[in-house]
A and B are shown apart, each in its own frame.
Chain A
Amino acid sequence: NAGVTQTPKFRVLKTGQSMTLLCAQDMNHEYMYWYRQDPGMGLRLIHYSVGEGTTAKGEVPDGYNVSRLKKQNFLLGLESAAPSQTSVYFCASSYWASATYNEQFFGPGTRLTVL
């Protein structure tokens, strides 16, 4: 099992360009998440999905869109990149998000720089 994979690993964009980050998981998890990690800020949730065809906003959703057309894939889109979106992006998945168990499995991250 590959677990959670992310594509690409690195990307440099110019302000105003668009791109899509792809996350794939082979653990048949229902829940998937996109986080960004910035220095001194920890990980912050951008969007998440509780199942195929569903998405919801997290803590910092502005400037991003997501889609979950297939259970195993969760896409994060930047329509018009801004320097403030320079960050490391992590995708994660979990069996479910319940009151007692919410271990999330993370991908290796995508380092995005917006010039």
Chain B
Amino acid sequence: DQQVKQNSPSLSVQEGRISILNCDYTNSMFDYFLWYKKYPAEGPTFLISISSIKDKNEDGRFTVFLNKSAKHLSLHIVPSQPGDSAVYFCAASAKNNNDMRFGAGTRLTVKP
């Protein structure tokens, strides 16, 4: 069963506009959430994270929002840049659990 879901396989936005990537989860034990970015032929790289005790975490152009009641998180990229074009994975883990679960990924394309 897929406990972390990214229902949009792809997203295309214009340079300078906002990109919003969504992620839903089903396991209420998850308490830490991460976003990873992946370029072709490379491994994923950590982008930003959020603990369940927060509802927002911001790092430069990247902001992650967490809605625990809806079991939903989103990644906002503002403004979007062509270099942001990549596959973005949402991931979640539970306290004292080494089994991190990943979503299937969303391919973001930022057009110049």
Chain A residues with a Cβ under 8 A of chain B: 4, 31, 33, 35, 40-45, 48, 50, 56, 58-59, 90, 92, 97-109
Report B70-112 CB contacts with A as 1/0, cut-off 8 Å.
0000000000000000000101010111111111110000000
Asked if A44 and B102 sit within 8 Å, CB to CB, the answer is yes
Chain B residues within 8 Å of chain A by Cβ, number: 30
Asked if A90 and B44 sit within 8 Å, CB to CB, the answer is yes
A110 and B65 alpha carbons, distance in the complex (Å): 33
Residues of A within 8 A of B44 (CB): 43, 90, 106
Partner of B95, one of A43, A58, A59, A99: A99
Partner of B104, one of A40, A56, A59, A104: A40
Chain B residue with the shortest CB-CB distance to A38: B104
Chain A residue with the shortest CB-CB distance to B98: A97
Asked if B98 and A109 sit within 8 Å, CB to CB, the answer is no
**B62–chain A nearest beta-carbon distance, Å:** 15
Asked if A99 and B105 sit within 8 Å, CB to CB, the answer is no
A41-B100 in contact given A103-B34, A103-B49, A106-B44 (Cβ < 8 Å): no
Residues of A within 8 A of B31 (CB): 99
Asked if A109 and B43 sit within 8 Å, CB to CB, the answer is yes
